[in-house]
Amino acid sequence: MKKYISKRAIATKRSAIRELLKLSEEPDIISFAGGFPCPETFPHDELAEIAADELRENYENVLQYGLTEGSLTLRRAVVEWLQPLGLRLSVDQILVTTASQQGLELVSKAFLDPGDVIFCEAPTYLAALQAFSSFQAERIGISMDEDGMNLDILEERIAIARQDDKTLKAIYVIPDFQNPTGITMSLEKRRHLLEIARREELLVIEDNPYGQLRFAGETIPTIWSLDTDSRVITLMTFSKVLSAGLRLAVLFTSDSDLMDVLVRMKQASDLCTSKLTQHMAARYIKEYDMDEHLKMVRTCYRKKRDMMIAALEQHMPQNEGITWTHPDGGLFLWVRLPDEIDTGKMFPRAIENKVAYVVGSDFYPNGGGENTMRLSFSLNSEAKIDEGIKRLAKVVREELAAKRVGVGV
């Protein structure tokens, strides 16, 4: 049957993360692999009440087809919710998507022809890479500094790609508490990135799933709010704010031509997003205190991050050059081991020791990062975080010892 398969499908690898998740889902394994939000942050009783009410009293509406652009009720609620946070938006700049993965899909479908170039951070969100490659785009990864993408390297790579006569379309970034590194892009770099994009006539795709989850440091304006010429498309999801199971996100563009194309692409992709889940989010925003709710969510993740960093400091081998990031928000931190350790090869031993992570090299579009791994602190209890890091440290220590012996032989 292989002859039926399209070239783009052949170009799309099965997600390594989702395959690993299966391995790491055995009950006695402490998994830092999946980017699962903590279920204790889901306002489930409130959502239960809203869902039941909508299904009883408003079923003719929420159980019917809806506008491809998204329910006006939700788009209006989003405008009102985000305004005090400095995000100026109008209803017609918002497209509701079936979670942000669909936003990435629609952006790829609307803008990326085979061979077109999209620049992204290296490492970056694995499923974004998958969306881009499923439309046969060329993904050029730009390495990261402590304050985000290295823009000198970006400019070099743009120049080289221009020399090679490639069609350059967009820069994809996750400025706040990036997946997988937890790094936040500085304000200076956000401005500079926009300048480069303007000069080079590139779209900026700003993926912002964790922006509301800052638990330390000061808020930095979104790239959306710095944009002056409708060059930025911003994606915000409800997955980490209300729940992943709603499969609900919003995409912003202030260019009506781009919006028109994205709507057409969504029509062909799934006609419309569920109005039930849209109304659940809209009514939660309007009827409950989102600020209070988000305070609780941030406190939850700050405690877990603190626990994970304390455990890394306590258990990981000292003076071996092992480093990790200190994210100010989000769900992830990033660990860099000594160069001689390959976290991919180490993975089976981690599973033997009942702990799991995501192999860092999976997040690199053009190779690299063999000595890195992503740890998610969002799902496990503080006790499990401590125990899991202890197990991981043991695996790393044994791996280091084996390498030393190997060198000695």
Considering only residues 23 through 52, tell me which ones interact with a copy of itself, judged by CB under 8 A. Answer: 34, 36-37, 39, 42, 44-45, 47-49, 51-52
- One symbol per residue from 239 to 258: x for binding a copy of itself (CB under 8 A), - otherwise; what is it? x---xxxxx-------x-xx
Q: Is 194 left (phi over 0), alpha (psi -120 to 50) or beta?
A: alpha
Between residue 203 and residue 242, which ones bind a copy of itself under the rule CB under 8 A? 203, 230, 239
- Which listed range, 60-68, 76-84, 205-213, 382-390, lies at the site for a copy of itself (CB under 8 A)? 60-68
283 interacts with a copy of itself by CB under 8 A: no
Q: Which residues of 119-134 are buried (b: 16+ CB within 10 A; e: fewer)?
A: bbbbbbbbbbbbbbbb
- 190 makes contact with a copy of itself (CB under 8 A): no
The pattern of x and - marking residues 377 through 396 that bind a copy of itself according to CB under 8 A reads --------------------
**Applying CB under 8 A, which of residues 261, 290, 400, 402 lies at the interface with a copy of itself?**
261
Least distance to a copy of itself, CB of residue 139, Å: 13
Among the listed ranges 82-90, 101-109, 183-191, 327-335, the one in contact with a copy of itself (CB under 8 A) is 101-109
- Establish if 12 lies at the interface with a copy of itself (CB under 8 A): yes
Q: Backbone dihedral region of 177: left (phi > 0), alpha (psi from -120 to 50 degrees) or beta?
A: left
**CA–CA gap between residue 181 and residue 326 (Å, rounded):** 9
Considering only residues 67-96, where is the footprint of a copy of itself by CB under 8 A? 68
Quote the CA–CA distance of 100 and 105 in Å, as a whole number. 8
Nearer Cβ to a copy of itself (379/392): 379
Q: For residues 30 and 44, give the distance between their C-alpha atoms in angstroms, rounded to a whole number.
A: 25
Assign 336 to helix, strand or coil: strand
Does 4 participate in binding a copy of itself (rule CB under 8 A)? yes
Peptide bond connecting 327 to the previous residue in cis, omega within 30 degrees of 0: no
Q: What is the closest distance, in whole angstroms, from the C-beta atom of residue 229 to a copy of itself in the complex?
A: 10
Q: How far apart are CA 83 and CA 76, in angstroms?
A: 11
Nearer to a copy of itself by Cβ, of 59 and 320: the residue is 59
Phi, psi of 252 (to 5 degrees): -115, 135
Taking the C-alpha atoms of residue 377 and residue 33, their distance in angstroms, rounded to an integer, is 9
User: Which parts of 340-379 interact with a copy of itself (CB under 8 A)?
Assistant: none
Q: Which is nearer to a copy of itself, 134 or 325 (CB)?
A: 134
Contact between 271 and a copy of itself by CB under 8 A: the answer reads yes
> What pairs with residue 94 in β-bridges?
252
Residue of 33, 66, 139, 371 interacting with a copy of itself (CB under 8 A): 66
Q: Which is nearer to a copy of itself, 77 or 322 (CB)?
A: 77
288 binds a copy of itself (CB under 8 A): no
Contact segment (CB under 8 A) with a copy of itself among 97-105, 291-299, 300-308, 314-322 equals 97-105
Q: Please report how close the Cβ of residue 272 comes to a copy of itself at its closest, in angstroms.
A: 7
Tell me if 162 contacts a copy of itself by CB under 8 A: no
How do 372-376 and 358-359 pair as beta strands?
A: antiparallel
As measured in angstroms, the least distance from the Cβ of 271 to a copy of itself is 5
Q: Which is nearer to a copy of itself, 12 or 225 (CB)?
A: 12
Number of residues that bind a copy of itself (CB under 8 A): 84
Residues 55/277, Cβ–Cβ less than 8 Å: no
As a whole number of angstroms, the distance between CA 188 and CA 161 comes to 25
Residues 290-319 that bind a copy of itself (CB under 8 A): none
Pick out residues in 109-148 that bind a copy of itself (CB under 8 A): 109-113, 116, 127, 130-131, 133-135
Question: How would you classify the pairing of strands 249-252 and 232-237?
Answer: antiparallel
Under a CB-based contact definition with an 8 Å cutoff, are residues 275 and 62 in contact? yes
What DSSP letter does each residue of 84-147 carry, written as one string? Answer: GGT----GGGEEEESHHHHHHHHHHHHH--TT-EEEEEES--HHHHHHHHTTTPEEEEEEEETT
What CA–CA distance (Å, rounded) separates 353 from 226? 47
